[in-house]
A and B are shown apart, each in its own frame.
Chain A
C-alpha cells in the first residue's frame, strides 16, 4: 500500500481546483500522487491533516477528478483508496464526489 500524507508530501496549504488557481491545487495533487498509483493498480492511503480545512473544490477535483477526468470507474477508485481522517463528514463528501463524478 502506498501512503500519501498530504501535509508531509504535498503541502501544508492545499487549496484551489486547477493548477492555475495556485501551486497546491486538487488537480496537481491528483496528477502528482493519486493517478500514478491507481494506474499501477496500487492501493493508496491518503492521510489528511485533521487540523486543516480542505475546500470542497480541492477535494472534488482531486478525488472526483479521478473518475471525471482520468477515466477510472467510481468503484475502482473507491476500492483503491483508503481515506485516513477522523472527519467523517469529509470522508462521506469525498466518496460522494467520486460516485457523483460517474454521471458527470
Chain B
C-alpha cells in the first residue's frame, strides 16, 4: 500500500472534518424535522349550529382560527364535521370559500379527503352534497348524489358558483336550478339580477384592491377578484335567499380613512364598522372617491326599502360589522367580533308557490 504524503494526509483530514461537520448538521436538521412532523394535525371542530342567523361570531371565530393556523403557523389543519348538526347556506358558502382558498393557494398538500363521512349528521351531509361542496373542493372520496334521493329537507340549496368576472348569468343558473321546486320570484327577479351584477362589479373593481396594505392579509394569501355565490329556497317559510361572498379588503377597511380624526372617532365609538357599511349604502361613497361611482350598494338598499322585492331583507356582513335593511326602511346595525375577513351579501326575498 502506498504511503500518503504529508500534504495528502492533511487534505484527507480536512475532508474528514468537513464530512463530519456535514453529518452533524444533517443530524440536527433531521431532529428538527422530526420535531415538526411530530406535531399532530390540528383539528378544528365545527360547532353544532353553523349559521349566520344564529351565531355569526362563532363562524368567524372558527374561520379565523383556521386561517391563522393554516397560513400563519403553517400547520396541517382539519375541520371536524362530526359535531355539526345543522348548517345554514350562507355559513356553508363561507366555509367552502375558505377551504377553497386554502387548497388553491397550496395551504393544503394534495387532494382533499373527507374523513369519517359515516359519522357526519345525515342532514348536514345531504345539504353539503346538494351545495356541491365536494365537487367545488374536488374531494377524492365524494359521497354519491344518491344520498339525496329520500331527502325531505324543505330548505333547497343551489350548487356553489365561483368566478373572477362579472357573470350575471350565474345568478340565472342558480335561480333556474331552484325553480324546479316551483316557486315564483315574479317582480323581485329583475332587481335581484341588477343587485348581483353590481355586487360582482364591486368585487372585481374594489374588493381586492390594496389588500397588501393590510397586515393580516399579507400572511393570508388571496385569490384576486374571486367570488363565491349560492342560493337557497325555503319552501316552508316561502323565501328565496341569495348569497355572494368575497375575501377582499371589506367595506369598512376600504372606506376607513387613516386620519387622526377617524382614529379618534373609532376610539369614541362612532364610525364603527357597521356605521361605515351603512354609509356605503347611502350612496356616492366610493373607495375611489370618484363622483360617478359608489351607487351599487345604494341601489341594492333602495330595491329593498322601496319594496321592489316583496318581504325582502338585505344583510351585509363585512369586517367587524353587520347591517340589516328591511322593506320598511328599518336598518339594524350590530358589531361582529371576531371580524369576518371578507364581505358576505345576503338577500332574502319572498317567493310564492
Contact = CB atoms under 8 A, between A and B. Distances in A.
A103 B292 CA distance: 10
B168 A15 contact: yes
B291 A57 contact: no
Nearest to A57: B201
Interface in A48-104: 51-58, 60, 64, 68, 97, 100-101, 103-104
A16 B292 contact: no
17 contacts: A13-B168, A13-B169, A16-B165, A20-B204, A21-B165, A23-B165, A53-B191, A53-B193, A53-B197, A55-B168, A55-B194, A55-B296, A57-B293, A57-B295, A68-B292, A101-B292, A104-B290
A17 interface: yes
A18 to B, nearest CB: 8
Interface string A2-30: 00000000001111111011111100000
Interface of A: 12-18, 20-25, 51-58, 60, 64, 68, 97, 100-101, 103-104
On chain B, which size bracket covers the interface? 20 to 34
A13 B296 contact: no
A104 B291 contact: yes
Contacts of A54: 194, 197
Contact of B204 (A16, A58, A60, A97): A16
A57 B205 contact: yes
Interface string B177-205: 00000000000011111111110110011
Nearest to A68: B292
Contacts of A14: 168
A18 B206 CA distance: 12
B193 A52 contact: yes
Given A17-B205, A21-B205, A104-B290, A57 B167 contact: no
B155 interface: no
Nearest to A49: B190
Given A16-B165, A21-B204, A64 B197 contact: no
A66 B169 CA distance: 26
A53 B166 contact: no
Contacts of A21: 165-166, 200-201, 204-205
A21 B205 CA distance: 7
The dominant DSSP class at the A interface is loop
B73 to A, nearest CB: 35
A55 B201 contact: yes
A15 B201 contact: yes
A68 B197 CA distance: 22
Nearest to B165: A22
Contact of A12 (B169, B201, B293, B299): B169
A67 B144 CA distance: 56
B251 to A, nearest CB: 16
Contacts of A22: 165-167, 204
B295 A60 contact: yes
B205 A15 contact: no
Interface in B283-307: 290-293, 295-296, 299
The 6 closest A-B pairs by CB, nearest first: A53-B194, A53-B193, A55-B197, A16-B166, A15-B197, A22-B165
Contacts of B295: 56-57, 60
Contact of B292 (A20, A51, A55, A104): A104
Contacts of B296: 55-57
**Most central of A18, A21, A23, A51 by chain B CB within 10 Å:** A21
Nearest to A55: B197
Contacts of A101: 292
B35 to A, nearest CB: 47
A37 B324 CA distance: 44
Contacts of B167: 13, 15, 22
B208 to A, nearest CB: 12
Interface in B192-243: 192-198, 200-201, 204-205
Contacts of A100: 291-292
Contacts of A103: 291
A10 to B, nearest CB: 13
A32 B37 CA distance: 59
**Most central of A22, A23, A57 by chain B CB within 10 Å:** A57
